[in-house]
Structure 1
Amino acid sequence: MTYFRSYSKLSTSLILVLLSAFLSGCSKEWFDEKADKQTTVPDKLADFQNLLDNLLTFQQYPVLGEIASDLHYLQDARYEIFPKGASTDAYIWSKTVRHDKVSTWNRSYAKVLTDNVILEGLEKIDTSNPSVAIEWKNIKGQALFNRARVFFELATTYAAAYDKTTAATSPGVVLRQTSDLTTPNERSTLEKTFERILLDLNEAYKLLPQQVSILTRPSKASTAFLLARVHLYMDSYEETLRNINLVLAQNSTLLDFSKIPSIRTTIGRYNTEVLLHSNFVDGAVTSALVERTYLDQYQPGDLRKTVFYRSTLTTGAISFKGNYEAITTNLFNGFATDEAYLIQAECYARLNKIPEAMQVLNTLLKSRWSKSVPYIDLQADTELEALQLVLTERKKELNFRGVRWMDLKRLNKDPRFAQTITRQVLGQTYTLEPNSYKYSFPIPDDVIEQGGISQNSGWEK
């Protein structure tokens, strides 16, 4: 089992037993026997924090949606290298082989299982000591935040785009809220899924500290950020704006791109824009390239063209390097202030506060601009013009961040922004229509065969 980093013998052995039992569908008797022999169930706050600080569990997020999104491509030779499965099928919006042991599903529910073990264990701890109570609240807030984030990412991957008119009947995700492995797996509705996400996040916000010194741990600001992302996906713009204003009141720092050498291979981990650090690892994304036409969108003076991308001298292939990480094999998909500015600008535009939207957008872009080229403020007269400008900059700023799939799904509901995507792979053309059933990935075959979960419509055999 390579998913977990060993912070302590207790943490590692417990996770291995829980995950093995959960993913194999073993009986409760098997679990009890293994637990008795190999682990001591954690009962100290330090143990729970060790579990939450396990970086390979809680700070790595496999993202099928990023593979399937439209702003990058794989060369045929690279595509052929990868073993055929859920990732390669996501790239062509198809299902050509069985999907077993899918990382996006298994790792996500491993996180949920660990969160539930922590939440249940916390209920047994005496909090009469004030210092213990403070730590207890922080740990509970972290576990609730983590579980909510996983449920949200699962919903944007395996469920249809949120629509309040159909959410009460549309399938959501499995909302496991117990570590009891005998509890049946059942899909909730999309409405219930988002109710649970918001409940967990609102409770986490009350419990977490205002600031954190360790950027892999959530704070009030990063919780408000995730609340803003969720409400944006739900088209709830006033709530989105309220939460993102809380974020920017805490940290509105933007990097000055004129001070970043273009020769840098990454922008760097834990930089001043980062509110919460996490990443995803997938060769199908880290090997991806962008088209020259995409790069041509950046205007003269826009430093993102050279800070975010590099061109190979021999082939001219354009690869991404604008990564808020320390290494090129991992891609940052955490929370940062540049995205917060774009969320705020979009909300102002949608609420017909056009001057405010343009002021926020121009503030962001000026931080990305060369000192040797005069910056001319972007202007808009209508809501549509403002939205078009904001959404264009969102594509240019947040590529390879793990949010594009979410954006495609939510924007496809609006005919003004819906788009058809095509890919050429090995001489064959693949097409993804707006609002296609393919925007909900197929539930893995081994999960379907374990029973209790229905396949997403359109992917049935």
Structure 2
Amino acid sequence: MNRIIYFCITLACFLCSSCNDYLNIAPKGNKIPTTLADFEALLRDQYTISRTPVENALYLLNDVYLTNAKVNTPSLSQANYMWDESADRIMLNNADEGTYYVLYGAISSCNLIIANAPTATEATDAERKEVMAYAKVIRALCYDVLVNYYADTYDKATAAEKRSVPLIASADIDAPYTQVSIQEMYDFIIQDTKEAIEMGIPAQSMTAIHPNLGAAYALLARVYLQMQNYDEALRYANLALEQNNQLFDWNAFYEEHQAAIDDPDNYDKIVTPMQYDYVENYYLRYGVQSNFDSYEYNIPVERAERFEEGDARFLSRWKLKVDNNDTYYKALESGFFNHGGLTTCEAYLIKAECQARLAQNNDYAESMNTLNSVRITRIRPDKYQPATAATLEEALSLIRRTKDNELIFSIVPFADARRFNLEGTYASTLIKTYEGKEYSLSPTSHLWTMPFPAGALNNPGNGSIEQNVSK
């Protein structure tokens, strides 16, 4: 026994004396990031940092078709899809659902880049600032999605009092954090994005999955619109459009593929134009998947009816299908879809709404001209008529129809619906019929705020999280 004790003491002394030497040796088969290229590579890991899965917001809007079999199976998606206010969504969200973990995973990578880029080797100061700027915009966008998903919508009167989501800006493992107020989170998002602009985020980014200057401006326009600051939202939408104002010609795309699209028995996939070289991109960011062969969601028949007649973008993307007990519009396209990023189309539609909100003497001509700039590239020539509006309500209704359809599968229609619901004047109740029974979703329903997953509450790390909904 004495010899064993002596051996252990000797071994401990040896290990302690050699500790510093071992810390300076990289583990075999691993690379410790030191160069700027090492850290920038984190931005190219598309599956971990470039996804924005917001499925339950899409289910709540009924923008995604849920099969009859899944409707009849209790789940979080079923509770949202069927607008079941009696369901305990906190209990149903007992798994590690994607939205929270994917976005905080992306934030973690951004924190690591922002913390280490200033001292990274093999780079100039300008190159270091560029990579940091990319990370700041991505981090700000992730927080914008999180706060509009898990917290109540922005209300200037209560934003300083209501909780939002955990704000984690440190790259240190187990760093302390706070579940900040909604106002503090919006201030952080704006600050991060403006700092990226000051750092010199380039007008032409490294790749489509790196946000450019137009993306930073477009994100600020989105955030200020959510805050109902129409002057600032308009200013940044215009700045974004000065960087890029191109719109894709969906009429030409439809005509190119019309024979296959019009064939009622042909559901062969068409490669989507909404990927890396899409002319509308400021920043390409995926939704749920990042695989090339990923398909878009199928949509319900009632959702399809909300598209404008003759919408070439709709005609090119979905086709009616009857499959046993399910009838829906089946997705026709495959590829890399920019469902979570920032585009010129969104900037146009933010601009149109701000012009309508700020119009003098009920003159909505400028707002409608901006809206029509988008519509004329989408609506078939035999169906197209310039949109006009005599009242603010008419203008907002026309803009919102186009925006909800253009940005389907992104967080934007969900965030916009919450914003209009809060405003009250233009709030709307969602209505649908399922198996002969009518269902409705009130603009004041608690379902408009998503519950944190159980894993986040049970394992909060060096902080604490309080649930933002009762169920």
TM-score tier (shorter)? 0.7 to 0.9
- Of all paired residues, the percent bearing the same amino acid is 27
Contact 2:145 2:411 (C-alpha < 8 Å) held by counterparts: no
Residues 356 and 403 of structure 1, relative CA distance in 2, 3 Å threshold:
same
Q: How does 1:47-446 map to 2 (within 5 A)?
A: 47-63=38-54, 64-79=56-71, 86-92=76-82, 94=87, 95=89, 97-125=92-120, 132-207=124-199, 208-212=201-205, 214-260=207-253, 261-262=257-258, 263=261, 265-268=270-273, 269-270=275-276, 271-281=278-288, 286-292=296-302, 294-295=304-305, 297-299=307-309, 301-312=310-321, 317-319=327-329, 321=331, 326=335, 332-352=339-359, 354-371=364-381, 373=382, 375-422=384-431, 431-446=440-455
In the TM superposition, residue 92 of structure 1 has moved relative to its aligned partner by: 4.2
Contact 2:70 2:78 (C-alpha < 8 Å) held by counterparts: no
| 1:79-138 deviation line (CA, Å, top 9, x unaligned) | 457xx6544444345415352322211111111111111111123347xx9x61121011
Name the Cα RMSD after superposition.
3.1
In 2, Cα distance between equivalents of 1:302 and 1:432: 27
In 1, Cα distance between equivalents of 2:417 and 2:306: 21
Partner of 2:470: 458
Contact 1:42 1:121 (C-alpha < 8 Å) held by counterparts: no
| 1:378-398 deviation line (CA, Å, top 9, x unaligned) | 111222221122112222322
Greater shift, 438-447 or 132-141, is seen at 438-447
Structure 2 length-normalised TM? 0.80
Which amino acid in structure 2 is aligned with residue 340 of structure 1? A
In 2, Cα distance between equivalents of 1:437 and 1:167: 17
In the TM superposition, residue 157 of structure 1 has moved relative to its aligned partner by: 0.7
List alignment gaps of at least 5 residues for structure 1. 1-32
- Secondary structure in 2 matching 1:311: strand
- Secondary structure in 1 matching 2:422: coil
- Secondary structure in 1 matching 2:155: coil
- Secondary structure in 2 matching 1:259: helix
Which amino acid in structure 2 is aligned with residue 91 of structure 1? Y
Contact 1:265 1:321 (C-alpha < 8 Å) held by counterparts: no
List alignment gaps of at least 5 residues for structure 2. 1-22, 262-268
Which amino acid in structure 2 is aligned with residue 386 of structure 1? A
In 1, Cα distance between equivalents of 2:445 and 2:196: 34
- Secondary structure in 2 matching 1:152: helix
Which amino acid in structure 2 is aligned with residue 43 of structure 1? T
Residues 242 and 331 of structure 1, relative CA distance in 2, 3 Å threshold:
closer
Structure 1 length-normalised TM? 0.81
In the TM superposition, residue 276 of structure 1 has moved relative to its aligned partner by: 1.3
How many correspondences in the alignment?
Answer: 416
In 2, Cα distance between equivalents of 1:375 and 1:92: 35
Partner of 1:4: none
- Secondary structure in 2 matching 1:443: coil
